[in-house]
Amino acid sequence: SHLRGPAGPGQPTGGWWSGIVGPGLAIDTDRWYVVAPNMLGGCQGTTGPASVAPDGAEWGARFPYITIRDQVRVQAALADALGIDVWAAVIGGSMGGMQALEWGVGHPDRMRRLAILAAPAIASADQIALNSVQTEAIRMDPAYRDGDYLDAADGDGPHRGLALARRMALLNYRSPDELNQRFSRSWQSGISPMGDEGRYAVESYLDFHGNKFTRRFDATSYIRLIDAMSSHDVGRDRGGVEAALARVRAATLVVGIDSDRLFPVPDQRLIARHVPGSVDGGEVVVISSDYGHDGFLIENEAVGRELARLLDAAV
């Protein structure tokens, strides 16, 4: 989706950081020129599987395997085209945090400040396992047709597999406490779920968001982006993670969410301890939130305070 602004044509939801980026906000657009490119492999502008290939047909399943490092190479080319030699700051959360860290390691002279939020330096076995079952859910949908579905009629396509993959992901975006507080064991209707007809409210929540996601996202894009996250390892071909982190030259803020079960705080602690320019003496700023991984998107006051502190730092 887009960084900030209301929902509209092509954007069924509001901007994901509208409470952080904008006039007078933590990332103040009256002060800073903000660039937020869609990522390579996605389906919101930058080339992805639904884009037209040089032969005039859509890429579809022919779209190549990509890594976080590939995505950052594309972003660096964009910076070159814009005439930006050095960023005032590179900031990212979740997959964007992987990209931001790759910027810091792979292009250490091209930023003054770096912020990594709710992201790891390397994808763990647990994270790769979660990713694998999501992509398998899509591939097992008969409508996926080995990725050859882009000519399907409106309403057709691997929507069931994509919705199921999104439901799996949502379970790790939110925390157990938040789900219990919101839904407990409540029923979706007056019919008991202890049978074949009724449902629990939390099931309906997952269905709603899974189905909503299929209206704005391409299944093969989802697979390519998930695979890119599994590929993430800043230490690959660089002597390992610690040696790679030692390359970072920017003043670096590292933020974790205490209830994040997708990329838990130890992932951020590894980064903070090994980047030379930690603004917090090698410590992670831990934000308390009931919202799990999505806390970096929801806890605007706490996240904004830390980002403003970084941007105000003299470097």
In sequence order, which ranges of the chain are alpha helices (DSSP H)?
Answer: 68-82, 95-106, 125-139, 159-173, 176-183, 201-214, 219-231, 241-245, 265-274, 295-298, 300-312
Q: How is residue 237 written in tokens? A: 């071909």
Residues marked as catalytic: 94, 260, 293
pLDDT tens digits for 122-165?
999 999 999 999 999 999 999 999 999 998 888 789 999 999 99
Residues of the chain with pLDDT under 50: none
pLDDT tens digits for 2-43?
788 777 766 667 788 999 999 999 999 999 999 999 999 998
Q: Give the model's pLDDT for residue 194.
A: 78
Q: Give the model's pLDDT for residue 85.
A: 98
Angstrom distance (rounded) from CA 191 to CA 76: 55
Angstrom distance (rounded) from CA 108 to CA 136: 36
User: pTM of the full predicted structure?
Assistant: 0.94
Q: Give the model's pLDDT for residue 15.
A: 83
Domains of the chain by range and CATH?
127-231 (1.10.1740.110)
